[in-house]
Amino acid sequence: MRILRRSLGALLALAAVLYGGDDAYVRLRMRHAKPGDPFESLTRTRVLAIPQKNGRYDYQIDRTQPTEQLTCVHSLFPHFGDRPCWYLKPRLNEPLRVGRRTRRPDAGQDSFKVDGGTKRIRL
C-alpha cells in the first residue's frame, strides 16, 4: 500500500511539473510571438452528420455557419481554453454529429407483455 501511494504521488508530481513547464514555455513564447507560434488559427468547413432512421448518416454543410475559425496552441496540454494543435489538426475535418442517437432500454424488442398475452409491434 505504501508503494502504491508513493508511486501515485510521484506520478501526480510528474504531471504537475510537466504541465507547469509546458505552461511556462507557452507563456515565454507568447512574449516573443511569431506568426503561428504559440497559437495557430485554423479554418474548417462545418459538415454536419445527421443520423437517419436506417442507421446511416446524411452529410450536409451547415447553412447557418458554413465555416468556422478554430484556435489551437502548440503545446502538450490545453492552455487558455484552446486545444493542442497535435490533437485538433487530425480531427479538423471530422463531421459534427447532430442529434445523438441513443439506444432505448427496450430497443431491439419487437414485443411486450400485456394482460392476456404478448402483443407484437412494428418498430
Q: Which residues contact 92 (CB under 8 A, 6 or more apart)?
A: 42, 44, 70
Q: Per-residue confidence at 99, pLDDT binned at 50, 70, 90? A: confident
Nearest to 38 by CA among 27, 50, 46, 54: 27
114 domain-assigned: no
**Res. 118 pLDDT band, cuts 50 70 90:** very low
Q: Looking at residues 14-24, what average pLDDT do you find?
A: 96
Nearest-angstrom CA–CA distance, 19 and 123: 51
Contact between residue 46 and residue 65 where contact means Cβ atoms under 8 Å apart: yes
In a domain, 112, yes or no: no
- Report the DSSP beta bridge partners of residue 50: 58
For the cut 70, the answer to whether the pLDDT of residue 104 exceeds it is no
Q: How confident is the model at residue 8 (pLDDT cuts 50, 70, 90)?
A: very high
- Looking at residues 39-51, what average pLDDT do you find? 92
Number of domains in the chain: 1
For position 101, what pLDDT does the model report?
52
Taking the model in full, what pTM does it have? 0.67
Sequence-separated (6 or more) residues with CB below 8 Å from residue 85: 40, 72, 73, 74
Residue 120 is predicted with a pLDDT of: 47
Which residue segment(s) compose the domain that 81 sits in? 2-100
Question: What is the CA angle 74-80-84, rounded to 5?
Answer: 30
pLDDT at 5 over 50: yes
pLDDT score, position 41 = 92
123 DSSP β-pair partners: none
Nearest residue to 55 via CA among 103, 96, 91: 103
Q: Is residue 116 part of a domain?
A: no
Give the residue-averaged pLDDT of 40-49: 92
Residue 10 domain flag: yes
Residue 117 lies in a domain: no
Least confident of 62-66, 82-86, 98-102, 110-114: 110-114
State how far the Cα of 92 lies from the Cα of 110, in Å rounded to an integer: 40
